[in-house]
Amino acid sequence: MSGGKTKDDIVADVTKVCTAALEKKGRGAMLLMHDVFCLVNRARGTALVSPEEVISALRKCSKPGGPLRTRKLGSVGAIAVALARTSDAEMDAPLLNMLEEAPLSAFRVSTELKITVAEARYLLQDAEQRAVIVRDDAPECVYFYRNFFNDF
């Protein structure tokens, strides 16, 4: 970690921290923006950076050809970061595998993927927006199922 103050140093630190965290999390992993901010500042120690500097660095890292990509999730537009080489199909694969056993809820996804319920909710909403899964608003919970209309 360089801990430097120039924009290039911050971009390098953000890239290094995000890449390491995402590779550790495994295939189809993502980090929410606030998690990136915390991880970067924890890694930099006393050379803290502002949220604006992290966002600016992420914009540079996520340009075409860069190592990362950002995406807006859910209706509130939460920003998530993933490795640029991670496709939507890779993000959906764990969900589709879990759907072979039973319908999905945000709690089940969070438990099985070891992510927060908020991240699971965003992941499910993102997959729903791309028509990979469909929603069933049941009285006790919101369940998600595989979208069989894609098979035709």
Q: For 120-129, how does the pLDDT look when each residue is reduced to its tens digit (9 = 90+)?
A: 888 898 889 8
Same domain assignment for residues 77 and 26: yes
Residue 2 domain-assigned (yes or no) = no
Q: Which residues of 69-88 are buried (b: 16+ CB within 10 A; e: fewer)?
A: bbbebbeeebbbbbbbebee
pLDDT at 57: 93
Share of the chain above pLDDT 90, in %: 42
Residue 1 domain-assigned (yes or no) = no
Q: What are phi and psi of 22, to 5 degrees?
A: -70, -40
- How do residues 57-93 score in pLDDT, each as one tens digit? 999 988 988 899 998 876 777 888 988 888 888 888 8
Same domain assignment for residues 35 and 70: yes
Same domain assignment for residues 38 and 106: no
**How many structural domains compose the chain?**
2
Q: pTM of the entire structure?
A: 0.75
Residue ranges making up the domain that contains 94: 88-151
Same domain assignment for residues 107 and 79: no
Same domain assignment for residues 67 and 11: yes
